[in-house]
Structure 1
Amino acid sequence: MMTIHWGILSTAHINRRVIPAIQQSNRGLLMGVASRDILRAEAYASSWNIPKAYGSYEALLADPDIHVIYISLPNHLHAEWIIKSLETGKQVLCEKPMCLSLSEMDSVEATCSRTGNFVMEGFMHLHHPQTHLWKSILDSGTLGDIHSLRSTFSFNLERPADNYRWHAAAGGGALWDVGVYPISLFQYLLGESPISVMASMHEENGIDQSTSAQLTYSGGRTGQFFVSFRSSFSTDTIIHGSAGQLHISHPFTNPDACVASIMRGNTKERLDVPRQYLYSGEVEAMHDFMLAGKIPVVTTSFSRKVLETILEVKSEK
């Protein structure tokens, strides 16, 4: 069986989450990391036991021994380097958000079509078996007719000057950073985009520190979410149906901390939640596609629908 060789574009903090998923896989091998500073790249490679270090992003893309690129650059650079990676014959896993505009998405999809190469947005939670369990519960009718979904993801984010999340031009803000989680979860669970959106934002210096929104779907179903950089840590999801409620703690973060239960009247059934390293699913989904042609949950079509909802939330603030 072919071993998939990975290269990482940047030495971003998020890499520490994805690297173990690659290194633990029996189908993948982390071969290289690139930085614009060769000394930084070499030090990073040494600390993570990565064989190759590159002093430019272009050098990594030019290496024929690399099959797939993981992009963890600031948000505003994603589309540019997705396109460059695809054009050099690489497959791509890109951190969310993959694109910041529909024109960027158009260019990415056109490049995929022209080159025959593939990009997947890094919605790690959608590749985790615990999320697949929520989907199977909804699809089975266990909760009856679904009426509403409510989700929260908030935390206090420090403000170092070099953190792009605080800069509008770099695609900063709570909606781009963590609002994508409930929006993508609702899209996955319901299988459709909202038909209307209402939203409110607390903004400062051109970015939203907090965003709350209500999304209305077909049949009057609603999805509500609150995301914030300026609130105590909280992450949960509650799904209300005519026959019961599904309560989920930690739907987007450490799955080992996830507790889920179904409430029917006064009866509470605690669920056996599948355990798996949070980022392994997205890495293995790339391997499944590259080795067996299996289409993943997250396609560019799915990512486009999520992007459209994000942009609508921003326009309705």
Structure 2
Amino acid sequence: MHKPVQWGVLGAAKFARHFMAPAIHAANGAQLAGLATSDTAKADPFRAFCPDLTVYESYDALLADPQIEAVYIPLPNHLHVEWSLKAMDAGKHVLCEKPMAMTAAEFDSLIRKRDETGLLAAEAYMIVHHPQWQLVRKLIADGAIGKLVHVTGAFSFDNRADTENIRNRAETGGGGLRDIGVYVIGGARYATGQEPVRVESTIKWQGGIDTFTEIRAQFPDFTYSSYVSIRMHPHQEMVFHGEGGVIRMTAPFNARVFGEARVELHRPGLEVQVTRFPGDDHYKLQVESFCRSVREGAEYSCPLEFSRGTQEMIDRVLERAVSL
């Protein structure tokens, strides 16, 4: 049996506190060992479920500890590349929150560093580790809905009241597209294995951030449309429409938080087959997959090259945007 991978977290972010740190603590093959924060009071909620946690007064101090093997980075978007590179320079494997980089070109330095060091570095793109997405990918590949014709996606929430949120600040790489656009875009790419050949978009800007983005694209074998917003009632859905059926995902991105993950397969004759995933935790599954790659060399299902492809499409959305 392999020794658990020793994990450290850079920063006491709310998302780390509520989701990723508990997932690391609960994951098979992982041990939550350290947290870097200059405010020791912020470490208390982490120690509540992980009493043996070591708290470091700085990110550099955590990275200097040879006992820490892997780091999770939940920092503001504009700091992701800098600290991912620093972590790899310190000999640490890296799992960094999305978007791991602000442009596709920035991924190149991460890929080079990963290859130079032989370390595992990846974007924390948890949905591909959820069995609902693996099922959808297989259904499409197996022809369960015949020839795929069109894909639609939607993801929205309303955080206008949270004015200090990094998603509402241009200087920290905020906006809906970078925060949740990765899901409607990357999800379509993952499920179909295809890349867009043409991209168009419409964006509503507010204070230097996109609060609503509509995307239209042509893939080699299907058309695509989606929208994301951080100023609308919470909603999420992905639909894959083929000549012989429809696949609908009811909670594709925040399974268990938004609701129970269900994959509906609509067939001719109004037949609907529903597969439910009531208990799967994609954050925990993500950590376990990462640890297997570190310890056993298993293939990781979301390499940097995949994340770069999603960011490349985001770049194209921004470049071709028409403002509302």
TM-score with structure 2 setting the length: 0.93
Identify the residue that residue 265 of structure 2 maps to in structure 1.
Answer: 262
* Matched position secondary structure for 1:273: strand
Q: CA–CA distance in 2 between the matches of 1:40 and 1:111?
A: 34
Identify the residue that residue 166 of structure 1 maps to in structure 2.
Answer: 168
What count of residue pairs does the alignment treat as equivalent? 315
Q: CA–CA distance in 2 between the matches of 1:282 and 1:6?
A: 14
Q: CA–CA distance in 2 between the matches of 1:137 and 1:105?
A: 31
Following TM superposition, by how much is the alpha carbon of 1:268 offset from its aligned partner in structure 2, in angstroms? 2.7
Match of 2:136 among 130, 134, 137: 134
Structure 2, gaps ≥5 residues long: none
Identify the residue that residue 60 of structure 2 maps to in structure 1.
Answer: 58
Matched, 1:282 2:283: no
Following TM superposition, by how much is the alpha carbon of 1:42 offset from its aligned partner in structure 2, in angstroms? 4.2
Identify the residue that residue 315 of structure 1 maps to in structure 2.
Answer: 319
2:301 maps to a residue whose letter is: V
Structure 1, gaps ≥5 residues long: none
Q: CA–CA distance in 1 between the matches of 2:78 and 2:171?
A: 7
- Cα distance per residue 1:163-204 (max 9 Å; x no partner): 111111211000001111011101111212100001001111
* Matched position secondary structure for 1:260: strand
Matched, 1:271 2:251: no
Q: CA–CA distance in 2 between the matches of 1:42 and 1:141?
A: 49
* Matched position secondary structure for 2:55: strand
TM-score with structure 1 setting the length: 0.95
1:186 maps to a residue whose letter is: A
Following TM superposition, by how much is the alpha carbon of 1:64 offset from its aligned partner in structure 2, in angstroms? 0.6
* Matched position secondary structure for 1:289: helix
Following TM superposition, by how much is the alpha carbon of 1:46 offset from its aligned partner in structure 2, in angstroms? 2.6
2:318 maps to a residue whose letter is: K
**Kept after mapping to 2: 8 A contact 1:41/1:55:** no
Q: CA–CA distance in 2 between the matches of 1:26 and 1:126?
A: 18
Identify the residue that residue 146 of structure 2 maps to in structure 1.
Answer: 144
Matched, 1:296 2:300: yes
* Matched position secondary structure for 1:272: strand
1:222 maps to a residue whose letter is: T
Following TM superposition, by how much is the alpha carbon of 1:36 offset from its aligned partner in structure 2, in angstroms? 3.0
- Cα distance per residue 1:106-137 (max 9 Å; x no partner): 21112112222121111111111111011111
Q: CA–CA distance in 1 between the matches of 2:43 and 2:264?
A: 47
Identify the residue that residue 41 of structure 2 maps to in structure 1.
Answer: 40
* Percent of aligned pairs with the same amino acid: 31
Q: CA–CA distance in 2 between the matches of 1:66 and 1:251?
A: 33
1:147 maps to a residue whose letter is: V
Runs of 4+ in 1 over 4 A off after TM superposition: none
